[in-house]
Amino acid sequence: MELLFKDLSAELKNRRIHPSYQRIKVLDYLNKNQCHPTVDQIFKDLQREIPTLSKSTIYNTLNLFLKSGLIKVINIENNDAHYDIITKNHGHFKCESCGKIFNFSIDLNTFTTEELSGFKIIDKNVYFKGICPRCL
Amino acid sequence: MELLFKDLSAELKNRRIHPSYQRIKVLDYLNKNQCHPTVDQIFKDLQREIPTLSKSTIYNTLNLFLKSGLIKVINIENNDAHYDIITKNHGHFKCESCGKIFNFSIDLNTFTTEELSGFKIIDKNVYFKGICPRCL
DNA sequence: TCGTTTTTTGTAATGATTATTAAATACTAT
DNA sequence: ATAGTATTTAATAATCATTACAAAAAACGA
């Protein structure tokens, strides 16, 4: 646990982010819960460990992580943003029945089109929607 | 104009949607403005032609069109939804500087992965973000 | 034409996100 | 260490897109 804390702290320092307790806890949560949690999910779970936690801190921290490129936001639906630790290339599938979001691996590097030759591409997202096997 | 009106009316009837004046106007607007307008843009522009128009009607109509598969919603950002008449397969590029959304053609049918073999895929979206040539 | 259903309109309610400000904490230099 | 400064957190208010709801208007059918 102490070692893990050091690792997370170092990861934040690399990104020029001061490793406060709350920030480390959020990063830890995102590492352990790679299930595309929403702000509410992160807040509710962490609040049990940190009773004084504020939802503003979650928003601040996530926006900070976003700007520094630590995480990605998934806007697969228009009501609630989901957050994702950046790992390898993968797409997201959202089940329209149960609402769960699934990963699937996809090589985003193959997506290049001459039409965007003059564009600077910073981020690529692939979103599928449909029904998952359990709901079918 | 009269003929066009009939065409739009027929298109709605095919989808079992009663072709009211407002609905035809919204469909007409989406056909003519394939620039991914937001609700506000549609509302403001059509309000000049239809002074009594309500924004609720825009929301109602767009949701109706969505359910019947006439249009698609683009959630490339979390603040404002954009709407798109369904044409051919294409992806969307959003410039993070000027906010404009560009189309680029991409064959979504090639995106199949064994990982999703048990899933029923209804909809595929490809969103890119970056900087457009004019802003570079 | 009357009664019923559908559509539109306007406003209120909801809910996620941001803005703001004060309290708490961490940091620096003497 | 300590005083002073900067940063971070917390709590609440404000914003804004979207939905819910109810009444007015329009369309429809017998």
* pLDDT reading at A16 higher than 60: yes
CA distances from A2 to A8, A24, A70, B66 (A): 10, 12, 22, 51
Q: Is the CB of B38 under 7 A from strand D?
A: yes
Distance CA B41, CA B25 (A): 14
On the CB side of B99, CA atoms within 13 Å amount to: 8
CATH of A88-130 among 3.10.350.10, 3.30.1490.190, 3.40.50.700, 3.40.470.10? 3.30.1490.190
pLDDT grade for A108, boundaries at 50, 70 and 90: confident
Q: Give B35-79 pLDDT, tens digit per residue.
A: 999 999 999 999 999 999 999 999 999 999 999 999 999 998 888
Residue list for the binding site of B: 95, 98, 132, 135
Give yes or no for a contact between B92 and B36, defined as CB atoms under 8 angstroms apart: yes
Given CB atoms, is B79 within the 8 Å cutoff of chain A? no
Over range A59-77, report the average pLDDT: 94
Q: How close is the nearest chain B Cα to the Cα of A3, in Å?
A: 35
Given CB atoms, is B124 within the 8 Å cutoff of chain A? yes
The pLDDT, as a whole number, for residue A111 is 74
A50: closest CA among A27, A21, A28? A21
Whether B2-84 and B88-130 share one fold: the answer is no
The pLDDT, as a whole number, for residue A33 is 94
To the question of domain B2-84 being in CATH 1.10.10.10, the answer is: yes
Q: Locate the domains of chain A by residue range.
A: 2-75, 88-130
Given CB atoms, is B131 within the 8 Å cutoff of chain A? yes
C1'-nearest nucleotide to the CA of A56: D10
Furthest-apart CA atoms within chain A: distance in Å: 52
pLDDT grade for B118, boundaries at 50, 70 and 90: very high
Distance A65 CA to C4 C1' (A): 57
Q: Which of A78, A126, A129 comes nearest B126 by C-beta? A: A126
User: What fold does the segment set A2-75 form as a domain?
Assistant: Arc Repressor Mutant, subunit A (1.10.10)
Task: Using an 8 Å CB-CB cutoff, list chain A residues near B105.
Answer: 113, 115
High-pLDDT (> 90) share of chain A, %: 74
Task: Using an 8 Å CB-CB cutoff, list chain B residues near A118.
Answer: 132-133, 136
- Token reading at A136: 């079918």
